[in-house]
Amino acid sequence: MKRLGQTIRDLWKDPMGRIGMIGILLVILVAIFAPLAAPFEPDKMVAMPKSAPSADYWFGTDNYGRDIFSRILYGARVSLEVGIIAVGIGAVAGYILGLLAGYFEGWVDRVIMCVMDILFAFPSILLAIFISAVLGRGLVNTMIAIGIVNIPVFARTVRAAVISAKGLEYVSNARSVGVRTGAILVRHISPNVVAPFTVQATLALSSAILTEASMSFLGLGIQPPDPSWGSMLSEARTFMEQAPWMAIFPALFIIVTILLFNILGDSLRDVLDPKLKT
Amino acid sequence: MSQENILLDVQHLKTYFPIRGGVMRKAVGHVHAVEDVSFQIREQETFGLVGESGCGKSTTGRSILRLIEPTGGQVLFDGTDLCTLSREQLRLKRRDMQLIFQDPYASLNPRMTVHKLLEEPLLTHFHLSPKEREEQIQWIAQAVGITAEHLERYPHQFSGGQRQRIAIARALICKPRFVVADEPVSALDVSIQSQILNLLMGLQQDLKLSYLFISHDLNVVRHISNRVGVMYLGRLVETGSTEDVYRNPLHPYTKALLSAIPKRDPSEEKERIHLEGDVPSPADPPSGCAFHDRCPHCMGICKEQPPQTRELEPGHRVACHLYNP
């Protein structure tokens, strides 16, 4: 916990880290308080279809006359929810697999990493589509699909960190003292995994949001009339020339959110790198 | 050598590392890091292992403790063959045998306070009340010269010598009987070295320890050891009491090694034996005697047959064809 506080303080000192943290906090607040902040219901027709942005309808309305601003606020919920849960699934499974593969090596490592390499070999969107097709449409299945796609990246990151930590003298020291394997993993090896793992998690969050947007765009993610940034973009495609605001605003939010996560991830990588510490 | 009081009996220890190559990562050869090493250590004795860098001293030490799995041979510790123990049996046995590492900057977890570092072995091997644990920690801290206020600090707040004291405390807090000291003073300033050596010798008396003391520093080994083994290319070429080996070296390699010690009086005439060439690769050791291609006394037989180890004086053994009967 002390380390968490210190990490946040260090992030705050870095201008990029500060932008990332504030920005993401805003996105999270928007998602939480969407029902209070949204001027209209997200799935009600409130004005003429395809009205241009105005004082009443800040981002305009879509082809059914629904308020785009309200839909974007609600859409933030979907994006974050999918991002966090999908990354959570990938991170937990990847962490355990990576730890086992890295510490035990031998056949455990070969079996785990072989499966990971096979998963890795597919383009992530293709794999997510395939898993969705097997599990069926819907938001929960999308999360599971994106989560599975994320496992190999985490497993690899963790495995590499574990293998390099295993070579450390103080890990040999713990073995020579006779410390139990579990305690060595938790006390001596895991702390070396936290930094690359956390950085990977922020970067994976942005890619998960993007994958959800792509899948909703393809019609596999969230089902109408619920809004998500990806599905809004998908619907906007047909009306790009008549109502460009339908596409511009969701796209803008996707870009900015992903950028914020990447900025935070980069800053976190610098902050957690012990070599840059004085 | 008498059979009584032998704590550690190493018999024909071998450790090979595979060299992997090709697409299938098959072993295409082996590095013979430790080749047929046998020696004994008696209770409360210090056995010094000397040799050049890369001759397999550290690998020998770690193979004995099975931190590196030996390829063959036996390690009898107090009558038990360590090589046949299961992982868990071995882990419990580690209470009695510890390793002091060369580099105190790397061997202590930077995220643990001294107190935690010293507590961990106790938590691992004993069921003690917090009060008893505290007593043990205070006792060992005092024994190695760490003050109570140092216990809440982190390793990076100490100097090298102090860190090595912490590492020694961690190794000795469970009161082991046998300690492998792997170049424990090589990473330290010369001024600190003697302090640490004296600490190790003092603790040996108090805790009735046996040491396997690994070093490339011949003076250090002479100072601390009762008996000495000289290693060359993974093989033990000569063993004997410190007195015998330093006064009357038998193996040509030992002679060359000892002739390289700087004399106290620079004006004193000394006969420096220069060895030709480099140490051969342990992946492809020379035929016969491993030392034959650099030996000033090389004979025909040396290129063909590996020499047998013979006891020339009581307790003084050498592996060299020069001493064939």
pLDDT digit string (tens) for A173-193? 999 999 998 899 888 898 888
CB-facing half-sphere around the CA of B297: CA atoms within 13 A: 12
Determine whether the interchain pair B170/A172 forms a contact, defined as Cβ–Cβ distance below 8 Å: no
Q: In this structure, is residue B179 part of a structural domain?
A: yes
Nearest to B118 by CA among B67, B152, B158, B160: B152
- Report how far residue B82's alpha carbon sits from residue B57's, in angstroms, rounded to the nearest whole number: 19
Nearest to A177 among B93, B98, B110 (CB): B98
- Report how far residue B130's alpha carbon sits from residue B57's, in angstroms, rounded to the nearest whole number: 39
Dump the DSSP string for B212-258: EEEES-HHHHHHH-SEEEEEETTEEEEEEEHHHHHHS--SHHHHHHH
Set of chain B residues whose Cβ sits within 8 Å of the Cβ of A173: 99, 101, 107-109, 167, 170
- Report how far residue B132's alpha carbon sits from residue B120's, in angstroms, rounded to the nearest whole number: 14
Residue linked to tokens 């071998």: B14
- Domain tally, chain A: 1
Q: Say if B112 is an interface residue toward chain A (CB within 8 Å).
A: yes
Determine whether the interchain pair A173/B108 forms a contact, defined as Cβ–Cβ distance below 8 Å: yes
Determine whether the interchain pair A173/B120 forms a contact, defined as Cβ–Cβ distance below 8 Å: no
User: Helix or strand or coil: residue B48?
Assistant: strand
Peptide bond into B314 cis (omega under 30): no
Q: Say if B152 is an interface residue toward chain A (CB within 8 Å).
A: no
Q: Say if B121 is an interface residue toward chain A (CB within 8 Å).
A: yes
Strand B46-50 relative to strand B210-215: parallel, antiparallel, unpaired? parallel
- Report how far residue B207's alpha carbon sits from residue B214's, in angstroms, rounded to the nearest whole number: 20
CATH number at residue A88: 1.10.3720.10
Q: Say if B170 is an interface residue toward chain A (CB within 8 Å).
A: yes
- Report how far residue A146's alpha carbon sits from residue A152's, in angstroms, rounded to the nearest whole number: 11
Nearest to B98 by CA among B74, B115, B118, B112: B118
Question: Which range marks the domain in which residue A56 is found?
Answer: 2-276
pLDDT for res B38? 93
Q: What is the DSSP letter of B272?
A: P
**Which site among A173, A184, A187, A194 would you substitute to test the B interface, given the most B Cβ atoms closer than 10 Å to its Cβ?**
A173
CATH number at residue B83: 3.40.50.300
Nearest to B109 among A175, A180, A188 (CB): A188
Set of chain B residues whose Cβ sits within 8 Å of the Cβ of A169: 101, 103, 106-107
Question: Which range marks the domain in which residue B90 is found?
Answer: 6-323
- Report how far residue B200's alpha carbon sits from residue A97's, in angstroms, rounded to the nearest whole number: 43
Nearest to A175 among B67, B103, B171 (CB): B67
Amino acid occupying residue B170: R
Q: Say if A178 is an interface residue toward chain B (CB within 8 Å).
A: yes
Beta bridge partners of B180: B99, B212
Nearest to B101 among A173, A187, A188 (CB): A173
Determine whether the interchain pair B95/A178 forms a contact, defined as Cβ–Cβ distance below 8 Å: yes
Nearest to B120 among A168, A172, A177 (CB): A177
Per-residue pLDDT of chain B (325 residues; tens, 9 = 90+): 455 688 999 999 999 998 887 777 777 888 889 989 999 999 999 999 999 888 889 999 999 999 999 999 999 998 899 999 999 999 999 999 999 999 888 999 888 889 999 999 999 999 999 999 999 999 999 999 999 889 988 888 898 899 999 999 999 999 999 999 999 998 888 888 999 999 999 999 999 999 999 999 999 999 999 999 999 999 999 999 999 999 999 999 999 988 888 777 777 666 777 787 788 888 888 888 888 888 888 888 888 888 989 898 888 999 999 888 7
How many distinct helices (H) and strands (E) make up chain A? 12, 0
Set of chain B residues whose Cβ sits within 8 Å of the Cβ of A180: 91, 124
CA-to-CA dists, residue A48 to A87, A277, B227, angstroms? 39, 57, 98
Contact indicator for A201, A91 with CB cutoff of 8 Å: yes
- Report how far residue A185's alpha carbon sits from residue A164's, in angstroms, rounded to the nearest whole number: 13
Determine whether the interchain pair B101/A175 forms a contact, defined as Cβ–Cβ distance below 8 Å: no
Contact indicator for B112, A191 with CB cutoff of 8 Å: no
Q: Which two tokens stand for residue A163?
A: 């293998």
Determine whether the interchain pair A174/B67 forms a contact, defined as Cβ–Cβ distance below 8 Å: no
Q: What is the DSSP letter of A67?
A: B
Using CB atoms and an 8 Å cut-off, which of residues 134-153 of chain A contact chain B? none
Nearest to A169 among B94, B103, B170 (CB): B103
Closest-CA distance, B288 to chain A, in angstroms, reads 35
Determine whether the interchain pair B103/A168 forms a contact, defined as Cβ–Cβ distance below 8 Å: no
Set of chain A residues whose Cβ sits within 8 Å of the Cβ of B125: 178
pLDDT for res B165? 93
**Which site among B99, B120, B140 would you substitute to test the A interface, given the most A Cβ atoms closer than 10 Å to its Cβ?**
B120
Measured torsion, CA atoms of residues A205, A210, A211, A217, in degrees rounded to the nearest 10: 150
- Domain tally, chain B: 1
Buried (b) or exposed (e) across A97-131, using 16+ Cβ within 10 A?
bbbbbbbeeeeebeebbeebeebbeeebbebbbeb
CA-to-CA dists, residue A235 to A24, A129, A220, B44, B212, angstroms? 26, 19, 13, 83, 76
Element (H, E) at A146: helix A139-166
pTM attached to this predicted model:
0.79
- Report how far residue B174's alpha carbon sits from residue B170's, in angstroms, rounded to the nearest whole number: 8
Q: In this structure, is residue B1 part of a structural domain?
A: no
Q: What angle do CA A81, A86, A91 make, to 5 degrees?
A: 130
- Report how far residue B323's alpha carbon sits from residue B325's, in angstroms, rounded to the nearest whole number: 6
Nearest to A177 among B106, B112, B170 (CB): B170
CB pairs under 8 A between A and B: 56
Q: Say if B101 is an interface residue toward chain A (CB within 8 Å).
A: yes
Nearest to A169 among B92, B106, B112 (CB): B106
Amino acid occupying residue B269: E
Taking 50 as the pLDDT cut, the residues of chain A under it are: 277-278
- Report how far residue B26's alpha carbon sits from residue B29's, in angstroms, rounded to the nearest whole number: 9
ipTM of the complex: 0.85
Contact indicator for A220, A228 with CB cutoff of 8 Å: no
How many distinct helices (H) and strands (E) make up chain B? 9, 12
Determine whether the interchain pair A177/B124 forms a contact, defined as Cβ–Cβ distance below 8 Å: yes
Contact indicator for B294, B276 with CB cutoff of 8 Å: yes
- Report how far residue A106's alpha carbon sits from residue A96's, in angstroms, rounded to the nearest whole number: 16
Q: What is the DSSP letter of A61?
A: B
Question: Distance between alpha carbon A70 and the CA centroid of its chain, in Å?
Answer: 23
